[in-house]
Amino acid sequence: MPLFPPNAFAPRQVLTTCKLGLGQMLSWGSAFYLPAILAGAMGESLGLPSSRIFAAFSLALLVMALTGPVAGRLIDRWGGRPLLMATNLLFALGLVLLSRVQTQGQLFAVWLLLGLAMGAGLYEAAFATAVRLYGKAARGSIVGITLFGGFASTLSWPLTTWLLHSWGWREACLVWAAVQLLVLLPLHASLPQAPSRTAPASPLPAQGADLPPAPAASLRGQMGTLALLALTFAAVWFIGTSMMSHLPRLLAVSGATAAAAVAAAALVGPAQVAGRIADYAFLRRAHPLWSARIAVIAYPLAALILAVFGASAGWGYALAFGLGNGIMTVVIGTLPLAMFGAQGYGQRQGLLMVPARMAQASAPFLFGLALERWQLGALWVLVLAASIAGTALWCLRPRSV
Q: State pLDDT tens for residues 335-351.
A: 998 888 888 888 888 88
**pLDDT greater at residue 205 or residue 254:** 254
Residues ≥6 apart with Cβ < 8 Å to 333: 123, 124, 127, 142, 145, 146, 349
State which amino acid sits at residue 269: G
108 vs 215, more confident: 108
How confident is the model at residue 24, as a pLDDT? 94
Distance between first and last Cα of the chain: 27
Of the pLDDT bands very low, low, confident and very high (cuts 50, 70, 90), residue 76 is: confident
pLDDT confidence bin for 173, thresholds 50/70/90:
very high
* 3 state DSSP class of 198: coil
Distance of CA 140 to the CA centre of its chain: 17
Least confident of 217-226, 308-317, 328-337: 217-226
* Three-point CA angle 189, 196, 28, nearest 5°: 35
Measure the CA–CA gap between 248 and 119, rounded to whole angstroms.
27
Q: Which domains does the chain have, with CATH numbers?
A: 11-195 (1.20.1250.20), 219-395 (1.20.1250.20)
Residue 392: pLDDT above 80? yes
Crossing angle of helices 152-166 and 11-30, rounded to 10°: 40
Percent of the chain whose predicted confidence (pLDDT) is above 90 = 42
Question: Do 43 and 49 touch, CB atoms closer than 8 A?
Answer: yes
**Within a 10 A sphere around the Cβ of 257, how many other Cβ atoms?**
12
pLDDT at 395 over 50: yes
The per-residue DSSP string of 221-242 comes to HHHHHHHHHHHHHHHHHHHHHH
Dihedral pair phi/psi, residue 300, rounded to 5°: -65, -30
With the C-alpha atoms ordered 59, 60, 64, 66, is the resulting torsion angle positive or negative?
positive
Measured between alpha carbons, how far is 373 from 43 in angstroms, rounded to an integer? Answer: 25
Phi then psi for 193, rounded to 5 degrees? -70, 135
Is the pLDDT at 133 greater than 70, yes or no? yes
pLDDT value, residue 238? 93
Count CB-CB contacts under 10 A for residue 328: 28
Whether this prediction's pTM lies above 0.85 is answered by: no
Taking phi first (over 0 means left), then psi (-120 to 50 degrees means alpha), and beta for anything else, what does residue 341 get?
left
DSSP letter string over 291-351? HHHHHHTHHHHHHHHHHHHGGGGHHHHHHHHHHHHHHHHHHHHHHHHHHH-STTHHHHHHH
Residue 209 predicted with pLDDT over 70: no
pLDDT at res. 9: 56
**CA 178 to CA 245: how far, in whole Å?**
27
Interval 48-74 mean pLDDT: 85
What was the pLDDT predicted at 211?
41
pLDDT digits (tens, 9 = 90+) for 255-296: 988 778 778 877 888 898 899 889 888 888 889 999 999 999
> What pLDDT, in 10s, does the model give residues 187-203?
999 999 887 665 443 34
The distance of Cα 231 from the centroid of its chain, to the nearest Å, equals 16
242, amino acid identity: S
Summarize the confidence of residues 7-36 as an average pLDDT. Answer: 85
**Per-residue model confidence as pLDDT tens digits over 112-132:** 999 999 989 988 889 889 988
pLDDT, average across residues 225-249 = 88
Averaged pLDDT for residues 319-333: 92
318 torsion bin: left (phi>0), alpha (psi -120 to 50), beta (else):
alpha
CA distance 226 to 110: 33
Q: Does pLDDT of 20 surpass 60?
A: yes
Contact between residue 37 and residue 161 where contact means Cβ atoms under 8 Å apart = yes
Quick one: how far is CA 65 from the chain centroid?
12
Q: Mark residue 168 as left, alpha or beta (left: phi above 0; alpha: psi -120 to 50; beta: remaining).
A: left
Query: Of 378, 383, 247, 393, whose CA–CA distance to 327 is shortest?
Result: 393
pLDDT at 5 over 80: no
